[in-house]
């Protein structure tokens, strides 16, 4: 029975350490988020750049698709 008691003590200690670590992790993440938000205005973020639309060839895509279908059907 002593070994079961030691196992339970070890289990409770391990779970306590994990719980403590996760609590500290949440607190640190919360305060670091507030810290970064406070100084966010010092370095302004760049506006996201719009992706350039590819120049569509005049009927080139349709012709390529038709060619691919023809090749696939004829083997």
Does 10 score more than 90 pLDDT? yes
Count of the separate structural domains present in the chain: 1
* The two structure tokens encoding residue 75: 């083997």
Report residue 53's pLDDT band, with 50, 70 and 90 as the boundaries.
low
Residue 32 lies in a domain: yes
| Tens digit of each residue's pLDDT (9 = 90 or more) over 39-51 | 877 877 777 777 7
CA distance 28 to 22: 10
Q: 69 in a domain, yes or no? A: no
Q: Establish if 34 belongs to a structural domain.
A: yes
Which has more confidence, 39 or 19?
A: 19
Question: What are φ and ψ of residue 53, in 5° steps?
Answer: -80, 135
Report in angstroms the alpha-carbon separations of 61 from 22, 53, 71.
54, 15, 15
Helix (H), strand (E) at residue 33: helix 2-38
Considering the domain boundaries, does residue 61 fall inside one? no
Residue 56: pLDDT band (50, 70, 90) is low
The domain in which residue 34 lies consists of 1-42
- 47 located within any domain: no
Does some domain include residue 73? no
């Amino acid at each position: 029975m002593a070994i079961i008691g030691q196992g339970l003590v070890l289990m409770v200690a391990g779970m306590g350490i994990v719980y403590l670590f996760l609590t500290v992790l949440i607190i640190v993440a919360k305060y670091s988020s507030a810290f970064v938000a406070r100084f966010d205005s010092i370095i302004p973020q760049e506006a996201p750049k719009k992706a350039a639309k590819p120049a569509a060839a005049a009927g080139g895509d349709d012709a390529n698709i038709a060619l691919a279908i023809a090749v696939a059907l004829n083997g």
